Chain A
Amino acid sequence: MNSSSLARSSLYQLTKIRFLEFWREPEAVFWTLFFPILLATGLGVAFRNRAPDVIKIAIVENGTLSQSIANAVSNNIGLSGIVCDEQSAERDLATGKVALVVIPRSADEVVYRFDLTNPDGQAARGLVDNTVQRAAGRKDLVHAKYQFVTEPGSRYIDFLLPALLAMNIMGNGIWGVCFPIIDARRKKLLKRMVASPMSRTQYLTSFLLSRLLFLIFDISILVGFGHLAFGVPVRGTLAAIVLVCVVAALSFSSIGLLISARLKTNEAASGAANAVMLPMWILSGVFFSARRFPDVVQPIIRALPLTASVDALRSVMLEGAGVASLGSELAILGAWLVVCFVLAVRLFRWR
C-alpha cells in the first residue's frame, strides 16, 4: 500500500530516475566518487609534514673566531652554518642561499649582515647572536624550557579538506544538473516530458533532491577519508556538517538549473559552468586564504556561495562551530538557492 502510493508519486519517480541514470553510468560514478580522493591524496602527499626548516648561514673565515662560532651554531636546532671567505658569503646572501652572513671581526666584535625584510634572516640573527653571547660567557637569568607540538587542525591538509568537500559539492551540483538537462533537451526528451501532465517545478525539484542523495557519498568519502588517512579533525557535530552540505548542495544545484535553463549544447554548458566555477575556485579560499585579496573585493568574495560553504565547513570541522554561529553563511547559501531556483523556473526552455 505504502510502496504503491510512493510509486505513484511523480516527484519520487523523477528523483528515482535521476539516481538510476547516474548509478548506471560507470564513468560518472568513478569521477564523482574517486576524483576527490585522488585530489586529497595528491595534495596530502605534496604538503605532508616535513622536518622543520633549517636556516642556512655563512660565517666569514677568520681563524679560530669563525671556527668557534661555527661549532656553537652547529649545536643549534634549526641552523646550519658554513665557513667561507667574505666574497662567496656575500654572493650566497645575494642569491638567497644563506639568510645571514656572520663576520667575526675580533673577540669582542661581530657583524651580522642580512636583509631586514627576510624573516629567516631576522630569526637567524637572533639565534646566532644568542649563541655567540653565551659562548662569550653571558648567563641566562631565567631558565627556559621548550615544548614542541604538532597540532592537528593547523596543517595545510586540515585547511584544505573542508574546502575540497565544498568544491566537490559545487562541482557535482553544477555538472550533475547541467548535463542531464542539456542531454534531455537535445534528445527532445524534455519536450516529451512537458507534453505529458508532468509538473515542471517537480521536474526541476527532482534534480535538487537527487543531489541530496549523492551528498551521502560526497560527505562520507571525503570526511571519512580525510579523517582516517590524514587525521583531519572533525570537531563539530556531524549534524552541523550535514546541514551545511545540504544547504550548499541545494544552492549549487539550483545554480546548475539556472545555467542549464536555456542552453542547448554540452559545449555551451561546459563553457558556462566553467565560467561560473573558475572564479570561485580562485577567489573563495579553497587552496589559500581568501583574505589575501584586497579589502575592496572582500564583500564580493564573501557573498560567493563557495566562500560561504568553505568558511562554514572549516568552522564546523576545524573549530567545532555550532549551527547557531553559521547564520550568515547559511543565509548567503539560502539566498543563492531561492534566487537561482526562481529564475531557473522562469527562464527554463522546455523545448
Chain B
Amino acid sequence: MASMTLAEAPLALKIRKLRKAYGHVVAVDSIDLDVKTGECFGLLGPNGAGKTTTIEICEGLLDPDSGSVELLGRDWRSQGEELRQMLGIQLQETTFSEKLTVAETLALFRSFYQRSLEVPELLRMVQMDEKRDARVGKLSGGQKQRLALACALIGDPQFLFLDEPTTGLDPQARRQLWDLINELKSGGRTILLTTHYMDEAEKLCDRVGIMDRGRVIALDTPRQLIASLGVEHLVEYATTGAALEGDALKQLRGVRAVSSVGNLTQLQVAELHQTLPALLDKLAESRITLTELRTHSATLEDVFVSLTGRHLRDE
C-alpha cells in the first residue's frame, strides 16, 4: 500500500490533545493528529467543524487552551521565529491591498524571508506571468487565490498550510488550482489543507481527517474511507404511488443497506451491474412507475453522511 512508505516517514506535524473553546463553544475538542513528511493531508468537514481553528493553531496564529503542537520537530513557543521562515500560509480569506500590483505584493512578502524564490519564478509557478503589473484590485477571484498561493510559496516552505484554497471559485478556476497544488505535492512539500469539498479532498489528499463538531471522526486515505462503507455505488430512485417493501429490496442481489428520505429510496450497492437489472425487474413486476433514478460511485460525502447522518454542506 502507498501509505506504508508514508508510515515510515518522520512526522511533520504532531498534534496531541489539542483543545480550544470560545466561551461555551468548543471549537476543537481534544484532537490527536499526525501529518507525515511529504504527504498532503486534508481536513474535511462542514463549516464550523473546527478545521480553521485547528489549522490556525498549527500556524501559530492562535494559542490553544491545552494540548500540544509539534511542527517540523519544533515548538511555537520557543522556536516561533525559526518556524515562520519554514512555513507557507494561505489564510481562508485575505484581501491583499488593491492598490498594489502583483509584483509589488510579492516583492513585499519576499522581503520578509531570509531565503526566498525569485518573483519571476513564483509568477511562473502560479501561471501569472502576464499579470505581473496588474493591480490586485483588478484580478479575478481565481487569480487572487493564486496570488495568495504565490505569497505562501515565497519562502520556499517545507510545510504549506492551505485553508479552503478554492472556496468561492468557479469550477474552472478550482481545477486550475488543483493542478497547481498537485505540482507542489510532487515537489516534496508537506501540505495541510482544509476543505468542505469532498471532491477536492479526494483529488488532492493522500490522507483525510474528517472533522465534525470539533472532533476527528474518521481518518484514513480517501480510498480506504470510501471502502469502509463496504459499498462501491449508490442507487437512488423515486416512484409514484406504491413503494417496494424494504425487506424485498434487501433481498435483491448486491444490496447492502436501504434507507429512504422522503419519497427517495437509497440503496447501498456492492455490484451495480447485478443490482440495477434486478431492481428494474422487481419494479416492473409490481407495476410501479419510476420517476427518478440515478446512481453514483460512493464518495467521501457518503462517508460523512453515514457517519453523521448529515450532509457536508447543509444548504
Residues of A within 8 A of B (CB): 7-10, 12-14, 16-17, 20-21, 24-25, 184, 187-189, 191-192, 194-199, 351
Contacts and interface: CB of A to CB of B under 8 A. Distances in A.
B111 A17 contact: no
A20 B104 contact: yes
A213 B23 CA distance: 45
Interface stretch (B8-16, B90-98, B121-129, B243-251): B90-98
B112 A196 contact: yes
B200 interface: no
A267 B81 CA distance: 35
Contact of A187 (B85, B94, B111): B94
Nearest to A12: B111
B217 interface: no
B99 A24 contact: yes
A66 B261 CA distance: 113
Contacts of A192: 89, 91, 94, 96, 151
B1 interface: no
A25 B98 CA distance: 11
B interface residue count range (under 10 / 10 to 19 / 20 to 34 / 35 or more): 20 to 34
Contacts of A194: 61
B107 interface: yes
B108 to A, nearest CB: 5
B282 interface: no
A17 B59 CA distance: 26
Contact of B95 (A8, A9, A20, A189): A189
A195 B59 contact: yes
B99 A9 contact: no
A351 B267 CA distance: 48
Contacts of A196: 84, 89, 109, 112-113, 151, 155
26 contacts: A7-B107, A8-B111, A10-B108, A10-B112, A13-B107, A14-B111, A16-B104, A16-B108, A20-B99, A21-B97, A25-B99, A187-B95, A188-B94, A188-B95, A189-B95, A192-B91, A192-B94, A195-B59, A195-B61, A196-B151, A197-B81, A197-B112, A197-B114, A197-B155, A198-B112, A351-B61
Contact of B93 (A12, A25, A188, A195): A188
A8 B97 CA distance: 19
B100 interface: yes
Given A14-B111, A191-B91, A197-B112, 17 more contacts: A8-B111, A13-B111, A16-B104, A16-B108, A17-B108, A20-B99, A20-B104, A21-B100, A24-B99, A189-B96, A189-B97, A192-B91, A192-B94, A192-B151, A195-B59, A195-B89, A196-B155
A13 B94 contact: no
Contacts of B100: 17, 20-21
A100 B89 CA distance: 83
B97 A17 contact: yes
B194 to A, nearest CB: 15
A13 B103 CA distance: 12
A192 B144 CA distance: 14
B208 to A, nearest CB: 24
A69 B302 CA distance: 112
A17 B98 CA distance: 11
Contacts of B108: 10, 13-14, 16-17
A188 to B, nearest CB: 5
B139 to A, nearest CB: 15
Nearest to A351: B61
Contact of B91 (A9, A188, A197): A188
A10 B111 contact: yes
Given A10-B111, A13-B111, A197 B97 contact: no
A191 B99 contact: no
